[in-house]
Structure 1
């Protein structure tokens, strides 16, 4: 009767020469190899589908970049809710990379970063957000980055409270741009800006640019100030303000 090799024998041909500990390790490594094969097949299948999403009817069109922060937020929330608590940080990082490479199938995302203070922190936040697939580079002029983003070339990640009140332009010459994410913790030290479809902005705190203090405008809307310049204030509010309205809402961060 022919001898049939087991999976362990295929991994370790000379079973009689190894210890039980090595046999157990070989079994675990073989299981990981099988999982890697499954992950690879699923990842490549996801990339193929992602390439088709960019041509779907509900994909952003016109001058808007291809990002849909609202969709990303919903999917990430759903995934993290299913992940074990001690795995959530790893799951978020991995998921961002997967999404980034999926977006790259529709054209690699370009990101310009301006952060004269703590540039590494801004880069790290942007890299986590957009993934390794994004084409990121540092720039010296936030106004040039805004103009570049306004033309639909990509997104700009710009530091706040760093000596340049670039954000005042979101109410004037760069009104076609929207803030859609923030980096640096509960009080963000940098904001992501791009030509985002207003319907695709995330659910969360509204970003407001207006003339007034950071405590509120007298109308019951409470704000947290991020930066000020010559009477103008950049702030966050939990109020559900419409983008582009009289209140000065210029975007949202999750």
Structure 2
């Protein structure tokens, strides 16, 4: 005779969370809730950015969709409100957010010409324009300038080499303006150029291309020399100049 023994079911083991685990779970739940709010706000911002793109219409002619003055003002406002230890993170995050907003108006095409220290110029362009931008290397300045002059994108060009492409900003590339500098604050090693609406240039030091040295014009305005070539000088100045005037102003950087 076979005897069947029925095993009594044992209750599932109860796992008790420690106070630390419960606290961590609560924090993660709070982060999930914040992430949901951020996602909702980000998608709302993208939708509004697309509407802004349709509303943009530069009054003085066709220009790129970039508004460096607006970006400068918004970034200054946000970093001023941020806690000191968060300012760098806020700045980097906002650059990405605005980059994706611009992408809703058409993906920004950025050409980089930097025969010397190209990796640094690429990193600077990526930081400035964000992951949404289509950034590519080109191997001559004329290609980069032509791309910017078409008005659908911008270019970043090195000023530390022997190619004095910047002289052309006074001549055949006068439709372009410098709107950003990358590298040391007083002596950037590369500049961003594009068909920027002049009123949309950032508030800051003017970029000038002049015949002669960088000693100044006697007005007392400070100058920072960036490069020279056959009697021409590329420099920064804190003088209040307008783009295209007789002083050789070709743009502005923060």
Q: TM-score, normalised by structure 2?
A: 0.91
Structure with higher Rg: it is 2
Q: Deviations over 1:142-183 (max 9, x none)?
A: 112101211113100001121200000000000000000001
Match of 1:36 in 2: 35
1:156-195 paired onto structure 2 within 5 Å: 156-186=155-185, 187-195=187-195
CA distance, structure 2, for counterparts of residue 29 and residue 37 of structure 1: 12
Q: Deviations over 1:4-28 (max 9, x none)?
A: xxxxxxxxxx985221111110000
Contact 1:53 1:59 in 2 (8 A): no
Contact 1:60 1:66 in 2 (8 A): no
Match of 2:137 in 1: 138
Give 5+ residue unaligned stretches, structure 1: 1-13
Give 1:184 deviation, angstroms: 0.6
Q: Name the SS of the counterpart of 1:125 in structure 2.
A: helix
- Over the aligned positions, Cα root-mean-square deviation in angstroms equals 1.5
Match of 1:22 in 2: 21
CA distance, structure 1, for counterparts of residue 114 and residue 168 of structure 2: 17
CA distance, structure 2, for counterparts of residue 79 and residue 168 of structure 1: 36
Give 1:59 deviation, angstroms: 5.5
Q: Deviations over 1:57-92 (max 9, x none)?
A: 566784210000000000000000000111011000
Match of 1:85 in 2: 84
Q: Name the SS of the counterpart of 1:203 in structure 2.
A: coil
Match of 1:124 in 2: 123
Match of 1:230 in 2: 230
1:147 aligns with 2:146: yes
CA distance, structure 2, for counterparts of residue 202 and residue 233 of structure 1: 22
Q: Deviations over 1:182-214 (max 9, x none)?
A: 011212111000000001000000000011111
Give 5+ residue unaligned stretches, structure 2: 1-12
Q: TM-score, normalised by structure 1?
A: 0.91
Q: Deviations over 1:96-116 (max 9, x none)?
A: 000000000000000000111
CA distance, structure 1, for counterparts of residue 232 and residue 252 of structure 2: 18
